[in-house]
């Protein structure tokens, strides 16, 4: 076994703290890479706090993982020592079901393996994430990264990036569409960048008036403070799509009133509390509420290549791993500009 070190939560009520653990030896199809940076996703906090379901502890969070390959198995074709490499939210899937065959491994019908807070396909070995120094992943679940982009700012593409890129692609959001991005955090700021790159008119719907300037810098065409009824009135019945990245309980019918006829409210945020949607919010204007989960491996590589071509990365604050709880506190308050990334050299 390979000795690894990282930061783990021992239970949902304890803080993250240094922890040593083991990773499997590098198998014939495995890639081992040194983790240089790991993004902090709101899902990390949901999971260490058992917001969604009882987690597997000790838990090493982190699924926006980038680094440099240190070892490859005998049959590995895609990577060699020294290459840049990244891993997102998935480390395995069945590869046989219809979804896997279509490159939708995130919807594997036999259950994909999450990068942390999951179990390997043997049904028993827990997975540990990227708040650590090294990781071993099957080459099919390792992504190529461009050396033209800042590596730390590339990390959030592995979750925040693909989670917003995938639904915009699926619903073919682009020229002629009015897109609202609800919530300007980690996912939201990537959604703005992609929406703009795809040619949509992008409006940020935010509870934080102080983010207006940033939204403009990110490329948004409009900024609406959702707690100001005057501003909200101007966009009632206005949007073709709302991409909802909100992490906490919120009033879906209120936001759906901003959709035009046939509009689609796409949920990517994952609050722990169920949404309440009255029938009349849907049938008045033939509206839809939809959802989207991360993205499959081929689409994640496509997104990374698109970002390399267009010079798109995340706007980040690089942090020392010791300060991860302060980062969580700021994230909960909506004070994230716009993704915290852990410098793993501080481990």
Site of interaction with ligand NAP (CB under 6 A): 41-43, 46, 159-160, 163, 183-188, 206-208, 211, 245-248, 250, 268-270, 292-294, 331, 334, 336
64 in Cβ contact with 130 (< 8 Å):
yes
Q: How far is the CB of 277 from ligand NAP (least distance, A)?
A: 16
Which one of ligand NAP, Zn ion, none is in contact with 177 (Cβ closer than 5 to 8 A by kind)? none
Looking at the Cβ atoms of 58 and 295, the one nearer to Zn ion is 295
| CA gap 256, 168 in Å, rounded | 18
Which one of ligand NAP, Zn ion, none is in contact with 97 (Cβ closer than 5 to 8 A by kind)? Zn ion
A 10 A CB-CB count for 204 gives: 29
Q: How far is the CB of 122 from ligand NAP (least distance, A)?
A: 25
Q: How far is the CB of 108 from Zn ion (least distance, A)?
A: 3
Which one of Zn ion, ligand NAP, none is in contact with 16 (Cβ closer than 5 to 8 A by kind)? none
Looking at the Cβ atoms of 69 and 155, the one nearer to ligand NAP is 155
> In Å, how far from its chain's centre is CA 136?
20
Q: Name beta bridge partners: 137.
A: 31
Q: How far is the CB of 103 from Zn ion (least distance, A)?
A: 11
Looking at the Cβ atoms of 4 and 59, the one nearer to ligand NAP is 59
190 in Cβ contact with 164 (< 8 Å):
yes
Which residues are at the interface with Zn ion (CB under 5 A)? 41, 43, 93-94, 97, 100, 108, 110, 159
215 in Cβ contact with 184 (< 8 Å):
yes
Which one of Zn ion, ligand NAP, none is in contact with 65 (Cβ closer than 5 to 8 A by kind)? none
**202 token code pair:** 């992008």
**122 token code pair:** 């043997």
**333 token code pair:** 């308050």
Q: How far is the CB of 216 from Zn ion (least distance, A)?
A: 26
Q: How far is the CB of 72 from Zn ion (least distance, A)?
A: 24
Nearest one of 345, 325, 316 to 133, comparing CA atoms = 345
| CA gap 69, 79 in Å, rounded | 8
Q: How far is the CB of 135 from Zn ion (least distance, A)?
A: 16
Looking at the Cβ atoms of 134 and 292, the one nearer to ligand NAP is 292
Write the DSSP symbol of residue 207. Answer: S
Which one of Zn ion, ligand NAP, none is in contact with 303 (Cβ closer than 5 to 8 A by kind)? none
DSSP string of 248-296?
S---HHHHHTTEEEEEEEEE----SSPP---HHHHHTTT-EEEE--S--
Which one of ligand NAP, Zn ion, none is in contact with 331 (Cβ closer than 5 to 8 A by kind)? ligand NAP
Looking at the Cβ atoms of 32 and 245, the one nearer to ligand NAP is 245
Which one of Zn ion, ligand NAP, none is in contact with 247 (Cβ closer than 5 to 8 A by kind)? ligand NAP
Q: Name beta bridge partners: 181.
A: 204, 243
Distances, alpha carbon 44 to alpha carbons 14, 128, 140, in Å: 14, 12, 23
Q: Which residue is nearest to ligand NAP (CB)?
A: 185
């Amino acid at each position: 076994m390979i000795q690894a070190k990282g930061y783990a939560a021992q239970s949902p009520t304890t803080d993250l703290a240094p922890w040593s653990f083991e990773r499997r030896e590098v198998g014939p199809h495995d890639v081992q890479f040194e983790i240089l940076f790991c993004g902090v996703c709101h899902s990390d906090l949901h999971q260490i706090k058992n917001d969604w379901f009882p987690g597997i502890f000790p838990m090493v969070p982190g699924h926006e993982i980038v680094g440099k390959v240190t070892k490859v198995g005998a049959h590995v074709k895609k990577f060699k020592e020294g290459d840049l490499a990244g891993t997102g939210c998935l480390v395995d899937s069945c590869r046989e079901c219809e979804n896997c065959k279509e490159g939708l491994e995130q919807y594997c019908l036999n259950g994909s393996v999450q990068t942390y807070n999951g179990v390997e396909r043997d049904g028993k070995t827990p997975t540990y994430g990227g708040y650590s120094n090294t990781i071993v992943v099957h080459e099919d679940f390792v992504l190529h990264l461009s050396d033209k982009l800042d590596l730390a700012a590339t990390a959030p593409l592995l979750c925040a990036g693909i989670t917003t890129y995938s639904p915009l692609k699926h619903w073919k959001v682009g020229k002629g569409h009015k897109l609202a991005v609800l919530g300007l955090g980690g996912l939201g700021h990537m959604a703005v960048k992609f929406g703009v790159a795809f040619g949509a008119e992008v409006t940020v719907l935010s509870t934080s008036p102080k983010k207006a300037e940033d939204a403009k810098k990110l490329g948004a065409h409009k900024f609406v403070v959702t707690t100001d009824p005057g501003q909200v009135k101007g966009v009632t019945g206005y949007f073709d799509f709302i991409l909802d990245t909100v992490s906490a309980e919120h009033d879906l019918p209120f936001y759906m009133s901003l959709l035009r006829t046939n509009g689609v409210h796409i949920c990517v945020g994952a609050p722990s509390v169920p949404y309440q949607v009255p029938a009349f919010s849907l049938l008045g204007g033939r509206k839809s509420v939809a959802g989207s989960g991360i993205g499959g491996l081929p689409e994640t590589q496509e997104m990374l290549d698109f970002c390399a071509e267009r010079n798109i990365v995340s706007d980040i604050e690089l942090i020392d791993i010791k300060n991860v709880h302060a980062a969580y506190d700021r994230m909960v308050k909506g004070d994230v500009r716009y993704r915290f990334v852990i410098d793993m050299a501080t481990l």
